Each structure stands twice: as C-alpha cells, then as structure tokens.
Structure 1
Amino acid sequence: MTHAFFHPPTTPRFALRNLRAPHCLVQADVPRTGADDELAPVDLLVDHGRIAAIEPAGTLPAELGPDLDASMLLPGMVDCHTHLDKGHIWPRQANPTGDGAGASMATQRDRNARWHAEDVRRRMEFGLATAYAKGVVAIRTHLDSLAPQAAISFPVFRELRERWAGRVELQASSIAPLDIFLTEEGRQLADIVAESGGRLGCVTRSGAYPGDPMPPDLDAALVRVFELAAERGLDLDLHVDESTDPRSRALIRVAHTAVAQDFAGRILCGHCTALALQTDEFIEETIAACKDAGIDIVSLPTVNMYLQDRSQEARTPRWRGVTVLHEMKARGLRVAVAGDNCRDPFYAYGDHDMLDTFTQAVKILHLDHPLSDWIRAATETPAAIMGTAHGVLKAGAVADLLVLKARSYSEMLARAQFDRTVLRAGRAIDTRLPDYRLLDDLMRA
C-alpha cells in the first residue's frame, strides 16, 4: 500500500474515528463543524466490508480503531465521461497543434493504423488500473465507433467490464459523427451498443459538413438517433457544441427533439462549451429547454481548457472553454464534472484521477467561496446519472472510501493528495500506479 498515509485495521469490524466528511454526502444525523461548516465531524463503523454506522465524531470507542485527527473522508469517485480507448497514445501520436482539429486528425491516423483489439485492451486496462488506484469506483467510457472500430472495441469493453466487476463499474457509450445514423451503419452501431448494454452516443457534428457547427442534416439525424435509442431501450450520451464558435447551438435542438419524441430514456450532454458564448437570453432559453427534456450535463474542464481558444501564434487564450455550469445547477439541472481524455491527442496530460479533476474544476469554474455542495459533481451526481449505487456515505453502503491526509477543503485543494488511503469493501488497496513502461512495446513504430 505504498504512499498511503495510514493503514486501517484488517479485522472484519473496525472504526475510523474523528474524520471530516462533506456534509452534503453524509446520509446520517450528524452535526456540522464550526471550523468548516461544509464538513461534518464523524466516526465511521465498518463491518464486513460495508458501512455499518456513521456517528458524530467522538461517539465510537477508541478500541475499535484509530483516531485520524480530522482527516477528510470521501466516497469513491465517479467519472461519467472518459475515453479509455484513446488513452495513452500520446507517445506514439502527439498532437503538434494542441487544438481540436489536430486532435481529431492525429487520433484518426492512430486509430486506422494501430487500434486492434489487443492494443485497445491493454491501454484501456492500464487506464482502469490507474483509476482504481486513485479511488475511482465507476467509469463511463466513450468508444470511437466508426466502422470497423465498433466491432473491435465493444467486445473488448464487454470483456473488461466483466474482468473489472467489483473493482470499477464500467459503462460504455458510442461516439461517431451524427450523420452516420442516417445510414445503415448507424443502425448496425445501435445494435452493437444494445448488445453490449451501452449508451447510444454521437457528436452533434456531421461528417458530410465538417466545417458547419449546425449542419443541414442536424435535425433529421437527431430524430433518427432518438428513434434508434427508443426502439432498443437505450439511454443517450452526446458530445454537444464542443466549440469556440457561437454559431454552435445544437444543445437546444437536442432538448426540443427529446420533448418532441417523448423520449423516455436518460440523456447526458457533454461539453456544451459554445453555450457560454451566447447571449444571456439564449442561455436562459436553452437551460429551460434542457430542464423540460430532463437533460443532464457534464463539463470536462481540464480538456476543454487545453483544446479551446488555442492559437498557433504567440497568443494567450482569452477564455476558459467551459459551459455555464453555475446557471445550470441553479436552475435544477443535474451537473457533473469528469476527466475526459488522458495522454492522447485531445489532452496531453491527466492520470485518471477524479479527485484531481474536481480540484482543478474548482479553480477553473470557480466552484468556491462557498464550495457549498459542489463535491457532488464528482461523486453523487455522476453516480445518479450513471444509475449506480456509489457516491454517498450512508449505512449499508459498500465501504469504498478515500481517506485524505488533508483536514479541510483548503488543505485538499492546495496540496495534491498523493498519499491518500483508498479502501475497497473496507480493505486498503495497493495504491501504487501501473508503470508507463508496461506500454512501451505499444509505443514503438
């Protein structure tokens, strides 16, 4: 358990005493602390891998377990939007321009040349092992799905979902240009997704009109996506308006289509960055439409800051590349943050660490002063969006936990928590990360 700052008892029943947990995630009758009103002082009782009780700090007897001196307690983190199939190809396929167009071209070159089943399997598993060591308990990954890739990657996903069951709950969504759903390839993809228990997904861009943020086939293709999903009982997970172009206004069209189709499934829309460039009146109209349609939103702040408003000249970027998350949350939409890409042409950095993603999101999106319940955006809310039983602290839940050396949000946000202790079913896991050298043979020409 290298790097963990403490090791919990190994008995079936034990206590972790004198912890501080986000009050919004604790489903128990415990007081807030005067020092940091967003945290609750708690004792936690673990019994045979589950949380048996959550009590006010100082309640459980000392002989049951250690006093952790106000260390922070979090439930396992949830990443509802990733791209594990792209991950870790940067060493062999960099993006020299650092922008979205360069990322798409670089990824296409690498996918066409290298993405056989074993390559995809090993890189995805490397990402899963890393996320597991960081304390991530559930992931939804998008899988590049233009033929023939869907027939390669979805079987790999199904294999890894089974192999990692009980460690990381794994979901998948397709991703492809919107217009393929007007063709037979789109119907076949929907069948593959249904066979795999996945979510039907696409980008709101058309391959037939690559330079048009609102292509003429947008509405017809959206209707077809909703029809294919409804026929198969699938939820939708869409990449929407990931752009610096204010002409990109597909989100409201997605919402109107959902209402017109009386769609019964869940809808998650990712990115939505161009909405931040609209007038206040159009933002309000779009948010209201999303509310009517029951659309959830996920922001990918680190990746969109990296990609958007980038120039090949010596020019400082002018905006953050994130959507209007505060306004959406204030009006009752479920909003989450997620990790997105990792060491690939869309993002040169990252380490599958949702605690780091949340920490950066706080700074990028100003989720502070007060922090309020924003920690839900990386725990409870994405878990609810995914339909999983993670993300909260309550009696009866599996004891999948992170214990941080930090004693407050201030300490947590100021210093990287490399020495966190990660518990799965009440047992501390080995938090050593897989070595990048494990992928060296896949990086050779």
Structure 2
Amino acid sequence: MDLLIKQARIKDGEALQDVAIDNGKIVEIAPEITGDAKEVIEADGRVLIPGLVESHIHLDKALIADREPNKSGTLQEAIQVTAKLKPTFTEEDIYSRAKQALEMIISHGATAVRTHAEFDPAQGFTGFNTIMKLKEEYKDLIDMQVVAFPQEGIFKAPGTEKMMYEAMEMGADVVGGIPYNDAPANEHIDLIFEIAKKYDKDIDLHQDFADEADNTSIEYLCEKTIKEGYEGRVSVGHLTALHAMEPEQLAKVIDLMVKAQINVMPLPATDLHLGARNDQYNVRRAVTPIRKLRDAGVNVALATNNIRNGFTPYGNGDLIQIAMLAVPVGHLGGADDLPTVLPMITENPAKALGLKDYGLAVGKKADLVLLDTKAVATALIDFPERSYVIKNGKVTVKVDKKVNILR
C-alpha cells in the first residue's frame, strides 16, 4: 500500500475504519487492515470525508478589495469598481493573487474547484490564460475546471461572442454566462447553448442575481435545458431572485428546475453582503431558498464565489465557513437539516461538476480530508482543522495543531 489511514470515523454509530490506498485509489475499507504501507496516518477516531469541492469561485478577481473598495456594498458598484480595475491587471498580478487564493482553498481541504475566468475586449485573455496556466501547474494538488466567463455580457460588449468561441478552443472546460447582465437575456442563453453544444461542454451561469423577481430568466433556462437534452449539465450561481417569488410561482419554478435537473450554487457570503441594500426596514436575507430547493430534490452546492474583492470583501477560502454561514441563513441547523449541509460541499458539488470516481468508497479516487473532530454530526459546527488533505493518494497538506492553556 502507498498509504494506510488507521481507525478513522466514517459514520457515527459504526466501528472505526482503516482505509487502504494504493496507486491513487481506495483499495480497501475495513475495521482492521494489516500489511505494509509506505505511509501510515493514525486517525485516532477523527472524521474522514471525501475532498471538499469548491464549485463556484473567481480566482482571477481575488484579493483586490483594498485597491478600489465597494463603499455602497451594492452589486452595481461591485461590477463598476471591478470593471475599472480589470484593465490594470497584469499577468504577473493575476498569477500572484490567484495562486494565493488557490492555495487558500487547497489548505482548507478542497481537492476540486470550478473557477470562472473572465475575458472581454478591454482586457483580452490575460486573466483567462493565467488561470489556464495555474490549472496545469497545480494539477497534482487540485482538479480544476475553468469556466469561460463573460462578466461584462456578450451583446453589451461587442467582440465578446468571438472570444467565447476562442476560449473554448483554448481549452475552457465549461461555457459560462450571465443573462442578468446582458440584453436580451433569453438570446444570451440561446447563444450559450449554441456554444456548449458545439463543443459538448457543460453550462454554468450567473443566474437572476437580483433582490426582486420581476425580470427572471430561470424559467426560460429550464425550458431550454429540457429542449436541448441538457438535463443535469446546467448549473446556476446566485439565483437570489427566487427568494422574492410568491409561493405559487416559486413552486412552479422549482418543479421546472427539478425536471431540468438544474444544479444550484448558493453563494451566501456574497449574496448576504450585496443583497437587499435598498431595504429600509425588515431587511431581507436575499439568498436563494436553499431549504425549498433541497426539499424538492434540486442538487444544491454551497460555494465561495469571491475572496476579498468588491463583491465579497472577506473570506479565507474555507468552504466549511461558507457552509456554517448557510446554516443560520437557510435555517439548516435543525436535527434533520444539519446532516444535509456537509454533502453541499462534498457529494453535491461533485455531482454538479461531473467528477468521476469521487467519494469515500472502494475503487474511488483517494481524494480525502481528515478533520480534527471525532463526530460526523458535528463536523461542521466544530470548525475543525484539516489535519490531512490527500489528493490522488498523496498527502498534500498536513496541519499539526497544539493548544496550550496557560494559567
């Protein structure tokens, strides 16, 4: 064996398990495994989970909050200040910031990530090319999917449509879009599907990011997804407008989303910060209705979105913090609800990203995280250290935490 993890907690109420890893795969899980291993990790009853999956982040825009702050805290100013800064980004600058953000999420247990990479006629492919470079450089530490993302719109920014096709030719993994920041939204969606079908790629949209539900395109997106046979291959981030829908309309929309098998990435750190800025009293949470989506059978995956920029002026790349933020925001702290949250940063995003051989089972890729806590039920609320992060059967992160209480 290459690696043997001894006495890990995989499920509460069941015996501790040994996990044997060889050639990057999990080859055996049993209460006791004997045999030689090149490396042995003594879990001592600590919780072992599949690697965390960061399903929606912008590495190329990370760590710029101090350069041009978003003083109003609105989405409009976030877009404006970022658009102002982008022409000043050099390849070296983007590389340095994106690398730092990438290492943040790796150190916190992410073994896979989907990052949106921007381009437009003003800045060209500087950011996109840099992210593609990092994808190759960090391939032994994290699996990266790169989304071709037109932040400034496509029709609103002439020349972007051609760049979308060029980005796919350059190796983008996913076709991105932003219907709410383009006009008309439905034609934007049509073009995204045209590109995705040409290259047989999945779709990931910034969808209906608004406080009100008076101008949504999610219904059209669902109908288009079904018409094109793309069920299960379309993901949407934000989708905050759903929180403002009347119950009857919302029920119909969610039913349509289930039929289209749309994956939803709520982004609580960003959506709470930017949402409902015009509310004078009884301020709304302005986050997509996570519980209702989950209960209906929609695949829900919590994600970070941004780290310290105009859209989200805080964050450290820790998905467990994002998940814990979603717990009170989405009323997910109940005894029956809390166990559904950890899968929102593991199995659910893995499904959305179409990850192959993912999971904690024999025959799966050995992408694992050993948490410094001893109960799966409290794995989130303990905010545990990631004692070990394992990628393709190799230890990539190790954290030794010692606490001394002085009297």
Q: Say if 2:194 is the partner of 1:227.
A: yes
* Contact in 1 for aligned 2:233/2:262 (Cα 8 Å): yes
| Aligned Cα root-mean-square deviation (Å) | 2.8
* Contact in 1 for aligned 2:108/2:318 (Cα 8 Å): yes
* Contact in 1 for aligned 2:179/2:186 (Cα 8 Å): no
1:336-347 to 2 correspondences below 5 Å: 336-347=301-312
Secondary structure of 2:211's aligned partner: coil
Structure 1 residues 90, 121: CA separation in 2 closer, same or farther (over 3 Å shift)? same
Moved more, 340-349 or 103-112: 103-112
Q: Which residue of the partner structure matches residue 116 of structure 1?
A: 90
Q: Which residue of the partner structure matches residue 404 of structure 2?
A: none
Q: Which residue of the partner structure matches residue 221 of structure 2?
A: 254
Moved more, 141-150 or 92-101: 141-150
Distance in 1, Cα, partners of 2:83 & 2:227: 35
Q: Which residue of the partner structure matches residue 335 of structure 1?
A: 300
Counterpart amino acid of 1:274? A
Using the TM superposition, give the Cα deviation of residue 182 of structure 1 relative to its aligned residue in structure 2, in angstroms: 9.4
Distance in 2, Cα, partners of 1:268 & 1:297: 6
Q: Which residue of the partner structure matches residue 382 of structure 2?
A: 415
Structure 1 residues 47, 199: CA separation in 2 closer, same or farther (over 3 Å shift)? closer
Match of 1:289 among 247, 251, 256: 256
Using the TM superposition, give the Cα deviation of residue 120 of structure 1 relative to its aligned residue in structure 2, in angstroms: 1.3
Q: In the TM superposition, what whole-angstrom CA distance separates every residue of 1:197-245 from its partner, at most 9, and x where no partner exists? A: 33221212245xxxxxxx5x22233222222322232321101111112
Distance in 2, Cα, partners of 1:223 & 1:401: 38
Q: Which residue of the partner structure matches residue 405 of structure 2?
A: none
Structure 1 residues 141, 13: CA separation in 2 closer, same or farther (over 3 Å shift)? closer
* Contact in 2 for aligned 1:50/1:397 (Cα 8 Å): yes
Counterpart amino acid of 1:353? D
Using the TM superposition, give the Cα deviation of residue 270 of structure 1 relative to its aligned residue in structure 2, in angstroms: 1.0
Match of 1:401 among 368, 390, 396: 368
Identity %: 24
Using the TM superposition, give the Cα deviation of residue 379 of structure 1 relative to its aligned residue in structure 2, in angstroms: 0.9
Match of 2:4 among 14, 27, 30: 14
Q: Which residue of the partner structure matches residue 389 of structure 1?
A: 356
Distance in 2, Cα, partners of 1:238 & 1:14: 40
Using the TM superposition, give the Cα deviation of residue 169 of structure 1 relative to its aligned residue in structure 2, in angstroms: 1.0
Structure 1 residues 44, 186: CA separation in 2 closer, same or farther (over 3 Å shift)? same
Q: Say if 2:332 is the partner of 1:367.
A: yes
Q: Which residue of the partner structure matches residue 278 of structure 1?
A: 245
| Structure ranking higher on relative contact order (CA contacts 8 Å, 6+ apart) | 1
Q: Which residue of the partner structure matches residue 195 of structure 1?
A: 170
Distance in 2, Cα, partners of 1:189 & 1:411: 44
Structure 2 spans left out of the alignment, 5+ residues: 400-407
Q: Which residue of the partner structure matches residue 161 of structure 1?
A: 135
Using the TM superposition, give the Cα deviation of residue 378 of structure 1 relative to its aligned residue in structure 2, in angstroms: 0.7
Secondary structure of 2:349's aligned partner: helix
Distance in 2, Cα, partners of 1:188 & 1:133: 33
Q: Which residue of the partner structure matches residue 377 of structure 1?
A: 344
* Contact in 1 for aligned 2:104/2:317 (Cα 8 Å): yes
Secondary structure of 1:140's aligned partner: strand
1:5-404 to 2 correspondences below 5 Å: 12-17=2-7, 19-21=8-10, 23=11, 33=13, 41-47=16-22, 49-56=24-31, 59-60=32-33, 68-112=43-87, 114-173=88-147, 174-180=149-155, 184-207=159-182, 217-263=184-230, 266-310=233-277, 318-368=283-333, 369-370=335-336, 371-389=338-356, 391-404=358-371
Structure 1 spans left out of the alignment, 5+ residues: 1-10, 24-31, 35-39, 208-214, 433-445
Aligned length: 394
Distance in 2, Cα, partners of 1:325 & 1:226: 26
* Contact in 2 for aligned 1:45/1:51 (Cα 8 Å): yes
Q: Which residue of the partner structure matches residue 436 of structure 1?
A: none
Counterpart amino acid of 2:28? A
Q: Which residue of the partner structure matches residue 4 of structure 1?
A: none
Counterpart amino acid of 2:155? I
Q: TM-score, normalised by structure 1?
A: 0.80
* Contact in 1 for aligned 2:63/2:97 (Cα 8 Å): yes
Using the TM superposition, give the Cα deviation of residue 262 of structure 1 relative to its aligned residue in structure 2, in angstroms: 4.4
Distance in 1, Cα, partners of 2:381 & 2:351: 28
Using the TM superposition, give the Cα deviation of residue 288 of structure 1 relative to its aligned residue in structure 2, in angstroms: 1.9
Structure 1 residues 61, 363: CA separation in 2 closer, same or farther (over 3 Å shift)? farther
Distance in 1, Cα, partners of 2:281 & 2:380: 26
* Contact in 1 for aligned 2:231/2:262 (Cα 8 Å): no
Q: TM-score, normalised by structure 2?
A: 0.87
Secondary structure of 2:96's aligned partner: helix
Distance in 2, Cα, partners of 1:225 & 1:419: 38
* Contact in 1 for aligned 2:154/2:160 (Cα 8 Å): no
* Contact in 2 for aligned 1:233/1:265 (Cα 8 Å): no
* Contact in 1 for aligned 2:90/2:126 (Cα 8 Å): yes
Distance in 2, Cα, partners of 1:418 & 1:76: 14
Distance in 1, Cα, partners of 2:103 & 2:360: 24
Using the TM superposition, give the Cα deviation of residue 149 of structure 1 relative to its aligned residue in structure 2, in angstroms: 3.1
Q: Which residue of the partner structure matches residue 435 of structure 1?
A: none
* Contact in 1 for aligned 2:293/2:300 (Cα 8 Å): yes
Distance in 1, Cα, partners of 2:242 & 2:200: 29
